[in-house]
Chains A and B, each alone.
Chain A
């Protein structure tokens, strides 16, 4: 590629040297990207067309059989439905609570904003898998939460939070949201700080109260970033795994089994032999579902932002 550069005077020789260095600089990242990211993506499709237990060579090509099996497998659709329930609950809870927190913490007159921000952000940096185990203990039948509710007289009998299908899903959504709300809060705060101060001043001069300012100024101006936040939140929650694996293990009776856990079970922790081909096909279906949803939400982002916001890549012109 470097040969294309016109050589002849000193400047271009200097440039040519620079170009060669630039290629050397990006080479390691390109190798890692192609070898350890692109190759697995391509192969994740290839495996899905084989009947394969994960051991030995790929020989038993079965075409679309794994996919047709998915269509009729009710356990798959159960996990598919659970994933959507979790995503919907997670999205509603985390986006709204994070917005309220951000609006409160954005007040420049509030003292100790930094400390509050740290406290509410703290769960984000902790390990989800560890949180799942700690929470399993807190919400166990003899766990802290039941003892607490008994102590303040709200209940007489311990509740089996994790043995009830509906309660277990609610708990999963609340704990998952609690863990990630800090990130969404920072997203909202970033959006709030992008609103110019003059806008608020103009509203005040026009006699708008704080509720009116929120309703007619702040929230409409947050719409573009809100659409981006929606996209990020939905896409990240569709692949929930760590928390489900450690908190409920998909139980009780698969009531909280999400797709990532379902796929893991068939690939690595099966009752019988591993079904890597089938698991891969389920993985492709999940990947395509996430892809279609992000296309739709990406389109929403594009529409709401009126094409004014730069997409990813403000740094590279």
Chain B
């Protein structure tokens, strides 16, 4: 009996705190359906009296969230593709092939990882200027893809090292070369790892702020949602419901993706402390 009361209490607390926990999102979505006048008079009532899509239309068309959204999608998907390709190939080589110099490369990269870094966004910005890529989406994508991706490389290397040698041997007997064995036989089995890395990188890049902020300082048309939002509230300071609509446009896609793919994401996070 005592146990059941305790369980009931636990659930009550978890639910009450849970609602408070995600209330900012409830507030954001409900405000995005209000009009600016009812927003001020409705006080704390979260329910809009009727659903207004005007805020979304205004944010999408007038405040250029359509452009920001497209930029965010292009940058995020390209970055995910590049990062997954790089770390998957590297993980395969490190995990499956005991090539000479392998230990040296691992040691050098890990050692370099620990170098204290200064304010690297300035050189990155200068580098993009030198390459003629400032003011282009490709520059932002390259900058977002930088880094050593140690976590993903480790995930891939661990996975590929566990594939039995017989799989590779029998592919070789069938006449498949190194690349065919990788691409046609072993890579398809790595789907869970690819999913984990892809979802993590997706959420990171979608939420990235400093890199797109700096690299699009002179080109407002290249802004992502996170950066565009800041300029929106700078320009339309009293358009609260437009702000809420813009925020919902930025957050709802990533929240939905997380809810659908959370297993992979949480596995990835917990893998990083192990």
**Neighbour of A19 across the interface among B11, B97, B177, B273, CB < 8 A:** B97
Which residues of chain B come closer than 8 Å to A2, judged between CB atoms?
100
Query: Number of A residues contacting the other chain (C-beta, 8 Å)?
Result: 100
Closest to B199 in A: A125
CB pair B27–A147 under 8 Å, yes or no, is no
Residues of chain A whose beta carbon lies under 8 Å from any beta carbon of chain B: 1-2, 4-5, 14, 17-19, 21-23, 25-26, 28-30, 32-33, 35-45, 47-48, 54, 104, 107, 109-112, 116-123, 125-131, 133-138, 142, 144, 147-148, 151, 178, 183, 186-187, 189-191, 225, 228-229, 232, 241-242, 245-246, 263-264, 267-268, 276, 279-280, 282-284, 286-288, 290-291, 312-317
* B197 within 8 Å of A (CB atoms): no
* B92 contacts the other chain (CB 8 A): yes
| Complex-state Cα separation, A139 to B130, whole angstroms | 43
Query: Chain A residues with Cβ under 8 A from B28's Cβ?
Result: 134
The answer to the question of B59 belonging to the interface, with a C-beta cut-off of 8 Å to chain A, is no
A109, B21: Cβ atoms closer than 8 Å:
no
- B190 contacts which chain A residues (CB < 8 A)? none
Q: Check B122 against A186 for contact (C-beta < 8 Å).
A: no
B274 touching A280, Cβ below 8 Å: no
| B 17-75 contacts with A by CB, 8 A | 18, 21-22, 24-25, 27-28, 40, 43-44
A131-B24 contact given A29-B87, A37-B147, CB 8 Å threshold: yes
Say whether, besides A127-B206, A315-B155, A280 and B118 are in contact (CB < 8 Å): yes
A21 to B97, CA, bound (A): 9
- Shortest distance in angstroms between A279's beta carbon and chain B's nearest beta carbon? 6
Task: Name 26 interchain pairs, CB-CB below 8 A, sorted by A.
Answer: A1-B101, A5-B100, A14-B172, A17-B178, A18-B99, A25-B89, A36-B146, A40-B146, A43-B122, A48-B118, A109-B7, A123-B21, A125-B207, A125-B254, A127-B251, A129-B227, A129-B230, A133-B233, A147-B43, A186-B269, A242-B209, A242-B226, A268-B217, A284-B119, A312-B110, A315-B154
Write out, one digit per residue, whether chain B residues 208-252 have a CB within 8 A of any chain A CB (1) or not (0): 011000100100000001110110010000001001100100110
Once the chains bind, are B123 and A47 in contact (CB under 8 Å)?
A: yes
Rounded to whole Å, the gap between the CB of B24 and the closest CB of chain A is 6
Render B156-194 as a binary contact track against A, CB cut-off 8 A, 1 for contact.
011101000000000010000111000000000000000
Q: How far is the CA of A135 from the CA of B23 in the complex (A)?
A: 11
Tell me how many residues of B have a C-beta within 8 Å of chain A.
96
Question: How many Å from the CB of B263 to the closest CB on chain A?
Answer: 9
- Is B270 on the interface with A (CB-CB < 8 A)? yes
> Which residue on A lies nearest to B269, using beta carbons?
A186
Evaluate contact between B154 and A313: CB separation under 8 angstroms: yes
* Nearest CB in chain B: distance from A264 CB, A: 8
Residues of B close to A119: CB separation below 8 A = 18, 21-22
Minimum-distance CB pairs A-B, first 10:
A283-B119, A315-B158, A44-B118, A36-B146, A291-B116, A43-B123, A25-B93, A283-B118, A40-B120, A40-B123
A36 and B150 contact, CB distance less than 8 A: no
Q: Smallest CB–CB gap between A44 and chain B, Å?
A: 3
Evaluate contact between A44 and B119: CB separation under 8 angstroms.
yes
Q: Beyond the given A1-B101, A39-B127, A316-B106, could you list 17 further A-B residue pairs with CB under 8 A, ordered by the A residue number?
A: A28-B86, A29-B86, A29-B89, A36-B124, A36-B146, A40-B127, A47-B118, A118-B262, A122-B258, A123-B22, A126-B255, A130-B225, A147-B44, A187-B273, A267-B122, A283-B118, A284-B116
Cα distance, A187 to B273, chains bound together (Å): 6
Q: How far apart are the CA atoms of A32 and B150 in the complex, in Å?
A: 13
Cβ-defined contact, A122 with B22, below 8 A: yes
| CA A191 to CA B257, docked complex, whole Å | 26
Task: Determine whether the beta carbon of B27 is less than 8 Å from that of A18.
Answer: no
B81 touches A (CB below 8 Å) = no
Task: Decide if B145 is an interface residue (CB 8 Å cutoff).
Answer: yes
Q: Which residue of B lies closest to A122 (CB)?
A: B22
What B residues does A35 contact at CB under 8 A? 127, 146
Closest to B212 in A: A129
- The residue that A122 contacts in the complex, of B25, B177, B229, with Cβ under 8 A, is B25
Asked if B118 contacts A187 (CB within 8 A), the reply is no
Q: Which chain B residues border A26 with CB–CB below 8 Å? A: 89-90, 93-94, 105
Whether B109 pairs with A19 at a CB distance below 8 angstroms is no
Chain A residues, CB < 8 A from B143? 36
B106-129 interface bits toward A, Cβ cutoff 8 Å, 1 = contact, 0 = none: 100110101111111111101100
- CB < 8 Å: which of A54, A104, A268 contacts B10? A104
- Which A residues are CB-close (under 8 A) to B230? 129, 133, 245-246
Decide if B273 touches A36 in the complex (CB within 8 Å). no
A29 touching B262 in the complex, CB below 8 Å, given contacts A17-B178, A40-B123, A130-B229 = no
Query: How many Å lie between the Cα of A148 and that of B99 in the bound state?
Result: 64
Task: With a 10 A CB-CB cut-off, give which of A2, A40, A109, A148 has the most chain B CB atoms.
Answer: A40
Contacts of A135 in B (CB 8 A): 24
Known pairs A29-B87, A37-B148, A43-B123; A125 contacts B18 (CB<8 A): no
Contact partners of A30 in chain B: CB under 8 A:
105
- Which residues in B have their C-beta under 8 angstroms from that of A29? 86-87, 89-90, 148-149, 153
Complex Cα spacing A130 to B72, Å: 14
Whether the Cβ atoms of A242 and B229 lie closer than 8 Å is: no
- Residues in B with CB closer than 8 Å to A283 are 118-120, 122
